[in-house]
Amino acid sequence: MRLVPWTLWPVGVVGLESLLAWASASNGAIQEWHESLADETAALQDVSSDVCWHAGFTKERCCRGDPTTSPDCWDGSYSFGECCPNADCWIGSFTYEFCCGEKHGLGGNKACWSGGFTHQLCCLANATSNSWADILSSEIETEQFYQMDDFYTDAQYGDEWGYYSKGHVLLGGGKGQDGTEQTQQFAHFTTYPMALSPHFARVFCRLLFIMWVQLDERAPFRVVEMGAGSGQLAYDTQQCVRSNALGLAPALWRRWAAAFEYTIMERSPALRKRQQSRGLRSVAGDAQTTGSCKSVLAALAASPACQGADGDAPECEAQERGTAEAGASVVLSNELLDAFAPVKLRFSLYGKPNITDCRSWQEVRLVHTITEDKLRSLLHILGYSEEMTEGTISQVRGYTDATFCAMANTTIGLEVQQQVSSNTSCLAITFSLSELVNHLDLGVPFASHNMRMRIRKDTKLSDRLRMITERLNGELQTSVALPRDVYRQVRHQLRDWPDLEADFLHTIQTHLFPVSISQERCDDLEWWFKAHEARIAKLALFYRQLGYPALHLVVRPGEDNFIDLVDCLLGPTGGFKLSLDYGANFEGLAHSLSVDGTNDGIFVPPIPHELMEGLPDCHNFWPKCAGRIDWTTFVDFTNLAAAGERRGWRTVFYGPQNLLEQFSRLNLTRNGRLYSVPGYPVLQDAWISRHVKGWYGRESDMDGTGVQRWTSFKALLLEKPSAKEVLSPILFPSWHLDTRHTDPCWSFDPSTVPLADWIPRQGNDSHDALTKLTDEINQDLGRQYAEGYEEAQLAVRLVDFMVAKSGCEAVHPVSAAAILERPVQWEALSVQQCPLMSLSRNR
Ligand SMILES: C[S@@+](CC[C@H](N)C(=O)[O-])C[C@H]1O[C@@H](n2cnc3c(N)ncnc32)[C@H](O)[C@@H]1O
């Protein structure tokens, strides 16, 4: 990272270019994608075309009709099913004559056309073939395959067996020996508000104060914190306001303290109880739905100030949406968004996929299997009679056969059957196909006829398929698949039997299965496809050039719903939304998922031994200990900002969390009034713990889990406009939410996956860049980007500390150059004035 003299940004300057303005101006990537689709040589090859057509044999001649129309085309080496994109059209009563016969005229028989089966494809053989995954599941009901976000929600927050609903989430708390309130710890982990208490909250407290000033001393100034955990941030922030911990002028502080109100919205009943036991106001609600708006507004309107008031003060009247008087002014969250339920999507790069057409995408769902014997003994222990047990088993067996044997008997399933032994179960056949997709080295094709050809003719692929199928067949020979509702029912019955539940978790197997996206989901994601079209186009070009068959992306539908909820709470006079969490920008996350098909974007945080007792290996595969451990995902800050911008909001700041802190004093003038706001650093007492180092962006031994630096803690500040000018309580320069906004002063971009940044910087040919990549270069990149990530933050903090200690003169280019050129001076300055330097010096 090049260290450049930073300019402190004046308040009111827009930190980021608008993502929407950029999106409409950046149709370049979309156009480039479309052009590349038109160019057959750049598009991913139709592998069948490569080998099927020579001499007088052409697709136009041989594929028109059905396998019997041009028998001379098929000599035994190649077949209609391997060569023709329309081969899946002809099944059962759907024959060429029935669908395309002359009597039906130009458009063919309308009764034949639905979804991907069109006149263009079936009659003219002149369209992209259907995907084999669609063919596999097109005739079956996938409703009972668990959607990933439903499973995630049940396991984390479900009333029945959700981890957060059980009340074992927190340890500690209560009064210590000296009678003071003890900091409470989550059972699995700690969070910054707890680890850095009370300093973390004071950084927030200072920002809230500046927001209050910028909102013209709004009264009441209502802060809503969503997902408050132990309530530490709420507790410390209110203490900060009440005790004037910021050191504001007394008259000013009185006005501020009188206007300030704080309310929590919390989903977990156990945590809500804990918050209330600390004297905090906490109302039930789910941050992933606008439905929570009404109850939160009711809680705001019932604030202590309104309790005894008579008459009808407008701030005490709850409405459907926030009003100028009764709405919230700021919505805060720390480590809330990472709990939102994810959905994994797959976008095939084969053929001419349309990014904004939902049918080009698939959604990964989950299927659970268990052996019949295990299910039988479990049901017995749960008190089922013999008759009920056998009835349930026969019902589940019927479901398994109807669903999975139907898939095993599709054109693609039959192809697999040709390659494996005759006693292979339907479950093994179908799951082996979905597992194969993650073997990126095989470049598994998307088109169904291409897949049939590869299974038949590519021994590397068919050997791998056989290997997977044999393993799965051994594991699943006597297994049945549990429909989602039966899985839920079993978990419901196990909820009070922890040992039995652990035994169940040992036994149950979870399989990931890509299927077509439901209409409801398509409707929900329509805006997302459009908002990110240019970014997806750029990724698609990149990965297709590298020969990848698909992009993998994770979307949390709750992010858009959350912004909708905040929009409802903030009311027409606007306000702020500030979220802290770990995560990154859209492209960084998409890269990390696309290079590794087994990465579902779900992370299992470290788990204490006592919680793991009796459980299987919870880290090996994230669904393994569903309901018994915490899960988390990486937040897509670009998506949140885009969701805000589509509602007319402004993106004010995005960057590492420590950029919220300001050590130097801030002088503000608003409506002719001068406000002098003292700075507040977390390093207030020169107390350096590993958490303090973490706050300042230093790589620490905190997690030891191999989490990459570019995903670490960030803040995103959005503003629902309340004034003509953009208001910003944060002075430091934002990081980019889109790689095209990367600061030109950055010689590389440590905020994303190193290779994804490095490859395009090597020139236009990605393949060529990859051939230059050695293990040594790769390792060096990892180190360089991790250090760059830290230094980009430390540089800002150092400037802030220098300004706080010696005034702006200290960072004037001339003075800065004099210091930088003389290591002795630099050392002296750092030792005397800047304890933060020890963080960077001790590297
Ligand atoms: C990891 S904890 C963070 C707690 C706290 N903000 C802190 O930093 O210590 C996540 C918190 O968000 C809450 N939560 C998770 N999903 C939620 C949702 N959809 N709506 C409201 N609260 C939620 C959890 O119950 C928990 O209190």
Residue nearest (by alpha carbon) to ligand 1 atom 24: 227
Residue 288 Cα: closest atom of ligand 1: 19
Residue 725 makes CB contacts below 8 A (sequence gap 6+) with: 12
The answer, yes or no, to whether residue 602 has pLDDT greater than 90, is: yes
Q: Mutate which of 236, 267, 566 to test ligand 1's pocket (most atoms within 8 Å of Cβ)?
A: 267
> Cis peptide before 198, with omega less than 30 degrees from 0?
yes
Average pLDDT on 25-52 reads 70
Q: How is residue 25 written in tokens?
A: 């101006």
Q: With bands split at pLDDT 50, 70 and 90, how would you rate the model's confidence at 826?
A: low
Q: How far does the centroid of ligand 1 lie from the alpha carbon of residue 565, in Å?
A: 16
Q: Say what the pLDDT of residue 705 is.
A: 47
Residue 268 Cα: closest atom of ligand 1: 25
Q: Say what the pLDDT of residue 829 is.
A: 59
Taking all residues of the chain, what is their mean pLDDT, rounded to a whole number? Answer: 87
In residues, how long is the chain? Answer: 843
Residues 33-68 as b/e (b if ≥16 CB within 10 A, e otherwise) read: beebbeeeeebbebbbeeebbeeebebeebbbbbbe
Residue nearest (by alpha carbon) to ligand 1 atom 10: 336
Q: How far does the centroid of ligand 1 lie from the alpha carbon of residue 227, in Å?
A: 3
Residue 630 Cα: closest atom of ligand 1: 1
Residue 265 Cα: closest atom of ligand 1: 21
How much is the pTM? 0.88
Q: How far does the centroid of ligand 1 lie from the alpha carbon of residue 226, in Å?
A: 7
Q: SS3 of 68, please?
A: coil
Residue 189 Cα: closest atom of ligand 1: 1
Q: How far does the centroid of ligand 1 lie from the alpha carbon of residue 668, in Å?
A: 34
Class of domain 190-340+560-584+631-740: alpha beta
% residues pLDDT > 90 (the chain): 54
Q: How far apart are CA 584 and CA 796, in angstroms?
A: 19
Residues 746-785 as b/e (b if ≥16 CB within 10 A, e otherwise) read: bebbbbbbbbbbbbeeeeeebeebeeeeeeeeeeebeebb
Q: How far does the centroid of ligand 1 lie from the alpha carbon of residue 652, in Å?
A: 24
Average pLDDT on 497-524 reads 94
Q: How far does the centroid of ligand 1 lie from the alpha carbon of residue 2, in Å?
A: 37
Q: How far does the centroid of ligand 1 lie from the alpha carbon of residue 171, in Å?
A: 16
Q: How far does the centroid of ligand 1 lie from the alpha carbon of residue 346, in Å?
A: 29
Q: How far does the centroid of ligand 1 lie from the alpha carbon of residue 511, in Å?
A: 28
Query: Sign of dihedral through CA atoms 263, 265, 271, 276?
Result: positive
Q: How far does the centroid of ligand 1 lie from the alpha carbon of residue 228, in Å?
A: 5
Q: Mutate which of 275, 336, 340, 563 to test ligand 1's pocket (most atoms within 8 Å of Cβ)?
A: 336
Q: Mutate which of 268, 272, 579, 657 to test ligand 1's pocket (most atoms within 8 Å of Cβ)?
A: 268
Work out whether strand 343-348 and strand 550-555 pair parallel, antiparallel, or are unpaired: antiparallel
- Tens of pLDDT, residue by residue over 162-180, are 887 765 555 554 444 454 4
- Tens of pLDDT, residue by residue over 435-471, are 998 887 887 887 889 899 999 989 999 999 999 999 9
Q: How far does the centroid of ligand 1 lie from the alpha carbon of residue 775, in Å?
A: 40
- Tens of pLDDT, residue by residue over 567-600, are 999 989 999 999 999 999 999 999 999 988 888 9
Residue 286 Cα: closest atom of ligand 1: 20
Instruction: Give the domain ranges of the chain.
Output: 47-84+86-127, 146-157+343-555, 190-340+560-584+631-740, 748-841
Residue 334 Cα: closest atom of ligand 1: 6
Q: With bands split at pLDDT 50, 70 and 90, how would you rate the model's confidence at 53?
A: confident
Q: How far does the centroid of ligand 1 lie from the alpha carbon of residue 787, in Å?
A: 31
- Tens of pLDDT, residue by residue over 705-755, are 445 788 889 999 999 998 888 889 998 989 999 988 898 888 999 999 888
Q: SS3 of 185, please?
A: strand
Which residues' Cβ are closer than 6 Å to ligand 1? Answer: 164, 191, 193-194, 226-230, 232-233, 266-268, 271, 286-288, 334-336, 339
The answer, yes or no, to whether residue 186 has pLDDT greater than 70, is: no
Query: Sign of dihedral through CA atoms 820, 699, 831, 666?
Result: positive
Average pLDDT on 392-402 reads 96
Q: How far does the centroid of ligand 1 lie from the alpha carbon of residue 192, in Å?
A: 13
Q: How far does the centroid of ligand 1 lie from the alpha carbon of residue 629, in Å?
A: 15
Average pLDDT on 493-520 reads 93
Residue nearest (by alpha carbon) to ligand 1 atom 2: 229
Q: With bands split at pLDDT 50, 70 and 90, how would you rate the model's confidence at 184?
A: very low
Q: Say what the pLDDT of residue 36 is.
A: 76
Residues 566-605 as b/e (b if ≥16 CB within 10 A, e otherwise) read: bbbbbbebbbbbbbbbbbbbbbbbbbbbbbebebbbbbbb
% residues pLDDT > 70 (the chain): 89
Residue 194 Cα: closest atom of ligand 1: 9
Residue nearest (by alpha carbon) to ligand 1 atom 14: 227
Residue 292 Cα: closest atom of ligand 1: 20
Residue nearest (by alpha carbon) to ligand 1 atom 25: 268
DSSP string, 445-460: -SBHHHHHHHHHH-HH
